[in-house]
Amino acid sequence: MKPRCTGHSSQTGEPCKLYPVKGAKVCHKHGGRARQVKAKAQMRLVEQQARELFGKTAPEIVPVDNPLAAYANFAGEVMAWKKLMASLLEDLAAVAVTSEFQGEQIAGAVQLYERAMDRANTVLSSYARLRIDDRLAAISKQQADTVMRAIEAVIALLGADRDQATEARRVAARHLRAD
Ligand SMILES: [Zn+2]
């Protein structure tokens, strides 16, 4: 059954029988047309669409095997989002505001931009606290050491002579630096 408005009649106190405004919990008589209610309803609809899309495409869920690298990626995403919000705001600010709708759009973009700034700030400060770059570098140094030990084992196993061993180490080192 379709849900009804959560408001009540002011005369009888009975639950309202009207249908809510799309995405909202109340009908047009119970504040469904108010700006904040409309904004919230809009967000709910977008969220609902996103959930449906998520269910439909059923994206593969991959476990995070390197949380530091994942966090570094995430920080990059957050910064890209902030940049996008900034250019959106710039675009909107460049046009003369001729209608209430445009005014609302700009107010919305300002809010999104501020939120993006806050998020970027949070992410960057925890990034700095974790010294992720240093740790990532330390991890790849460890991995490189492991690979070099493996190379040594292979050199010993194959019974390579001194020149071949030197060449093998040189090639391996060059490939590791390329990463
Ligand atoms: Zn109502």
Contact yes or no for 116/82 (Cβ under 8 A): yes
- Bigger pLDDT: 124 vs 133: 124
d(CA 77, CA 90): 20
12 C-alpha to center of ligand 1: Å? 13
**Integer Rg of the chain from CA:** 28
For the chain, domain boundaries: 1-33, 39-130, 136-178
pLDDT digit string, tens, across residues 61-114: 777 788 888 888 888 999 998 888 888 888 877 877 777 777 777 887 888 888
pLDDT of 179 over the 70 cut: no
Q: Which residues surround ligand 1, an ion (CB under 5 A)?
A: 5, 7, 16, 18, 27, 29-30
- Residue 82's Cα: distance from chain center in Å? 11
Dist. CA 39 → ligand 1 center (Å): 18
